[in-house]
Chain A
């Protein structure tokens, strides 16, 4: 099945942003795995991975499982995962599944990044 999900990665000081678009379902497995690989390299070694869902219009239970797998891998590597850009509906699903106990949620990528990098000195 062709994936309807696309991902681009952006590496910032201390954090890597994975910008997702389209549908996060079973077909997104390779896309998400590849994006994580690109985001987390020995050179970048980010302490935090930001999952940006701003351009995602559909997440199903298999997509939730993929996010769980990303979170499990990041935890094993002692990295933090945060998310941004979720609609109210998917924020509620993150609450129901308890993903939001482990993934801090931000309204958008600017809020997430500014929180991670802190106020300017």
Chain B
């Protein structure tokens, strides 16, 4: 049997940002610059940028509690036809709240039965091909996967 060797994952970039509101814009700009020539369509690049920004904002606010001295770490890897962006904060268990996060429901929000906020994870899930979360007690990482040839949820190609 012939085995086709899968290319080893290749790290494209790794950087940290201070946990200050607004720094998600720096993350999305840097990731966009790194992946722009890897074959993502313009529409899918925009989706990845939104997902990176939301995940970074989540890390800054909920993980690191806006404490500038605690860095958010961003790592970009290419694994075959997948681009993987890992965004790590030091919040660990801080992200865990009892029960499942409530799915945003616009009608409930308009009627005042749900906070207008709470769109972040919902947007991320709908922007990328896969979203995974790992926690080791201290660190919390959101993994965003985007295939260079694929289509995200509901996207027509």
Contacts and interface: CB of A to CB of B under 8 A. Distances in A.
Nearest to B21: A1
A99 B54 CA distance: 18
A56 interface: no
Contacts, number: 64
A101 interface: yes
B117 A61 contact: yes
B112 interface: yes
B13 interface: no
State which size class the interface on A falls in. Answer: 20 to 34
Interface string B12-53: 000000000110110000000000000000010011001001
Q: Is the interface of B mostly helix, strand, loop or mixed?
A: helix
A38 B84 CA distance: 45
Interface stretch (A39-47, A62-70, A110-118): A62-70
B110 A60 contact: no
Given A1-B21, A89-B47, A61 B120 contact: yes
Given A61-B54, A69-B116, A97-B119, A1 B47 contact: no
Interface in A48-104: 58, 60-62, 64-66, 68-69, 71-72, 75, 87-89, 93, 96-99, 101-102
B24 A89 contact: no
A54 B157 CA distance: 25
A1 B60 CA distance: 14
B104 interface: yes
Interface residues of B, number: 27
Nearest to A58: B25
Given A26-B21, A61-B57, A89-B46, A102 B110 contact: yes
Interface string B48-79: 00100110010000000000000000000000
Contact of B50 (A26, A72, A89, A102): A89
A89 B120 CA distance: 16
Given A1-B21, A68-B106, A102-B110, A96 B126 contact: yes
A21 interface: no
B106 A65 contact: no
Interface of A: 1, 23, 25-27, 58, 60-62, 64-66, 68-69, 71-72, 75, 87-89, 93, 96-99, 101-102
Top 10 closest pairs, chain A to chain B, by CB: A61-B119, A89-B46, A65-B116, A68-B116, A65-B117, A61-B120, A98-B106, A72-B110, A69-B116, A64-B119
Interface of B: 21-22, 24-25, 43, 46-47, 50, 53-54, 57, 104, 106, 109-112, 115-120, 122-123, 126, 154
